[in-house]
Amino acid sequence: MNTIPLTHILFVSTALFFIGMYGLFTRRNIITMLMSIELILNSVNINFIAFNKYLHPANLDGVFFTIFIIAIAAAEAAVAIAIIINLYRNHKSIDIEDAAEMKY
């Protein structure tokens, strides 16, 4: 049976990484920016699993790193949502352009 070559998976993960980066830089909605960050983290997860499976199958280092990334991403998202809710209560908006208190 033909297996999918590693490079294909790397293309997917690299694409996800840069889609996330693009979203982070261009989107103005804070929730969307948060989603972009999650995309970046998940592209890294794909990378880890692929490298582990294809290049270093002897032990499961990469898979375990993925577990830690998922856990940390959840913690980060929780803090981010709390920050966003707090900002929304004061600003009545989740547009990043409205958060310009320190512009001068």
Task: Note the residues at the interface with another protein (CB under 8 A).
Answer: 5-7, 17, 20-21, 24, 30, 33, 37, 40-41, 43-44, 47-48, 51-52, 55-56, 58, 61-62, 64-65, 67-72, 74-87, 90-91, 96, 99-102
Alpha helices (H) along 1-104: 6-26, 30-54, 61-91
Report d(CA 49, CA 88) in Å as an integer: 37
Q: Which is nearer to another protein, 26 or 72 (CB)?
A: 72
* Cβ neighbour number for residue 2 with a 10 Å cutoff: 4
- The DSSP-derived string for 92-103 is S--BGGG--TT-
Shortest separation between residue 23's beta carbon and another protein, angstroms: 11
Shortest separation between residue 4's beta carbon and another protein, angstroms: 12
Shortest separation between residue 50's beta carbon and another protein, angstroms: 8
Q: Are 79 and 52 in contact (CB under 8 A)?
A: no
Q: Which is nearer to another protein, 5 or 26 (CB)?
A: 5
